[in-house]
A = this chain, B = another copy of it.
Amino acid sequence: MKTGELSDKQRRIVEFIRNFWLDNNYPPSVRDIVAGCGLSSTSVVDYNLKILEKKGAIRRHREVSRGIELPSPPDSSNILNIPVTGQIAAGQPIPVPDNDTWDVTSNADTIEVTRDIIRGREGVYALKVKGNSMIEDLINDGDIVLLQSVSFVENGETAAVWLKSEKEATLKKFFLEPSGKIRLQPANSQMQPIYASPDNIEVQGRVIAVIRQLD
């Protein structure tokens, strides 16, 4: 095999590694490859793996069982890990994440979402809804709410607002009335809106999505 291309057998090996990986979520051992490619000896595999490594088709970690790496699938940038910073429930403040120490890696739970849900927005975090105090907003106990951390919202947007005097957090449609009052409208049109003065409310975030998982 003079060329820089892969031999037929080597191509089969690489393909098997990829399929094995997809099926099992971990790399195959040398003997898995023997069995999977119908080869006769581990030394054949080792021999070809060395060539494959030299050609850059795989990367190996010596003396490490199943230490085979495929060149990183370029994807995976389509998944974002959104921190679930806490729970939201009436009577509890909303834990807005500290923007400086946005520590996705640490303690916090995270939820994986595809990038098309975020749509390129910055400062997105998630809350788990506790209790059914927001059922009139079509949000149930256990739902996950995705929020964008903002302090001001447009008329008609659904926002997480903190009602200072009531010491209560809720999700409602936000309207600034001509009278200067704020109208917080439930999503269910059969329910009555709440009216509040602007200095009694504090916008915590804009709702961009609701995810409900059932078992």
A-to-B contact residues, CB < 8 Å: 11, 15, 21-22, 24-27, 29, 61, 64-70, 72-79, 105, 107, 112-114, 116-117, 135, 138-140, 157-158, 187-188, 207-215
Contacts and interface: CB of A to CB of B under 8 A. Distances in A.
16 contacts: A25-B27, A25-B70, A25-B72, A26-B64, A27-B66, A65-B65, A75-B76, A75-B79, A76-B76, A78-B79, A78-B112, A114-B114, A138-B138, A207-B214, A209-B213, A211-B212
A213 B27 contact: no
A135 to B, nearest CB: 6
Interface majority SS (helix, strand, loop, mixed), chain A: loop
Contact of A69 (B25, B73, B74, B207): B25
Contacts of A29: 65
A210 B208 contact: no
Q: Which of A26, A67, A117, A140: most chain B CB closer than 10 A?
A: A26
A34 to B, nearest CB: 15
A67 B26 contact: yes
A193 to B, nearest CB: 16
4 smallest CB-CB distances across A and B, nearest first, come from: A75-B76, A73-B76, A210-B212, A112-B114
A114 to B, nearest CB: 4
